[in-house]
Amino acid sequence: MKKVKRKMGKIDYITFYTIFLLLAIGVVMVYSASSYYAIIQKNDSMYFLKRQLIWAVLGVIVMFFMMSLDYHKLRKYTMIALIGCVPLLLLVFLFKDANGAYRWIRLGPLSFQPSELAKYVIVLFLANGIVNRGEKIKNLKEGVFYFLMVSGFYAGLILAEKNLSIASVIMIVTFIMLFVGGARSKHLFGLVLPALISLGFLFIFTSSYRRARLLNFLDPWQDPARHGYQLIQSFYALGAGGVTGLGLGQSRQKTLYMPEPHNDFIFSIIGEELGLIGCVVVITLFIVFVFRGIKIAIEARDLYGTLLATGITSIIAVQALINIAVVTGSMPVTGVPLPFISYGGTALVINMMAMGILLNISRQREKKFN
């Protein structure tokens, strides 16, 4: 125990402040984007702000707790968490769907999205498993195939919930962690990557609504009243914002033109109100976070810390990249929230918990940060 205390140092403050800046921007923008929608739907313009503030405070508390907890202790709870996620992911089918998707466990006014937890549990499993298997990671059957089957099982459960986006995030992060963990490039790029891409297209083209999303992404104006509607409204918001924006709180698209503007398309409201400058600031903060996350992974005390930091950083990076690409019309519309910024209690608290783990890894680095 004394040995662990001796190795504990200061957190990476650049990462710490970057997280809090993104969180602060998120709280402000959730209020700005949701106020009109909330007063119409809930008769309270601050309805979503108050809930987001509660989750933000809870998330900060959880983050500070995880910052002080040695991340190595998580290893003994990995299998329990992995097994525990299965009934949670199945339990969502007992609750009413939302637009055909089963993603939530609802208990009165509270709701929980198990897939948000599952993606981080997969990171814990991969980090622990790759370390335990050692050189077997270079073996296609005992290494790469084994980990892909486990990740694929959980991604499949999430896909059954009609949540291709989170399922895709899990598989992308699995690929990244296997690469960092030492899997052979010929296995990953020669077999795994083509297989994942092929499966992605298979799932898209065998589902009518996913196929419609892809085709409307290429030309949203061919169906402007249905599948192309949200993307077109996003274009209007980003275009209206220009370089400097219309001003905080001055969005026109949030006045019931953009469906639920405080959720997945909140970045378009940032573009409308804060302009290109605001968008660049948000993107820059994510870039800083990713670079610091990579630095934490490189300088981690051990391979487990390296893999854990890689997985956590990758989840935030992949989700931010997908969300911004969707909002700007660079890829088909999919339901991936913008980390720390989009409205959502489950995602926010679990993301902040993961940030606590990442910062704890930074406390036990081998080298000092610059």
27, amino acid identity: V
Of residues 334 and 72, the one with the higher pLDDT is 72
Q: What is the pLDDT of residue 319?
A: 94
* pLDDT above 70: residue 1: no
* pLDDT above 70: residue 271: yes
How far is it, in rounded angstroms, from Cα 141 to Cα 126?
15
Tokens of 205: 């083209």
Of residues 197 and 201, the one with the higher pLDDT is 197
Torsion of Cα atoms, 163 then 105 then 353 then 166, to 10°: 0
* pLDDT above 60: residue 367: no
**Shortest CA distance to 297 belongs to which of 279, 275, 312?**
312
pLDDT in tens, 240-251: 889 999 999 888
* pLDDT above 50: residue 141: yes
Q: What is the pLDDT of residue 330?
A: 84
Residue ranges per structural domain of the chain: 13-364
Q: What is the pLDDT of residue 7?
A: 56
Q: What is the pLDDT of residue 66?
A: 95
Q: How confident is the model at residue 8 (pLDDT cuts 50, 70, 90)?
A: confident
* pLDDT above 50: residue 3: no
**E strand segments, 3-91:** none
Residues in contact with 317: Cβ distance below 8 Å, sequence separation at least 6, in sequence order: 286, 289, 290, 293
Of residues 292 and 201, the one with the higher pLDDT is 292
Mean pLDDT of the chain: 88
pLDDT in tens, 90-134: 998 888 877 677 888 887 777 888 999 999 999 999 999 999 988
Of residues 140 and 73, the one with the higher pLDDT is 73
CB 157 within 8 A of CB 90: yes
How far is it, in rounded angstroms, from Cα 312 to Cα 354?
7
How far is it, in rounded angstroms, from Cα 246 to Cα 265?
17
* pLDDT above 60: residue 6: no
Q: Which of 50-54, 274-278, 361-365 has the lowest mean pLDDT?
A: 361-365
Q: What is the pLDDT of residue 25?
A: 95
* pLDDT above 70: residue 370: no
Q: What is the pLDDT of residue 369?
A: 41
Of residues 259 and 274, the one with the higher pLDDT is 274
How far is it, in rounded angstroms, from Cα 197 to Cα 246?
40
Average pLDDT over residues 205-214: 69
Portion of the chain with pLDDT greater than 90, in percent: 55
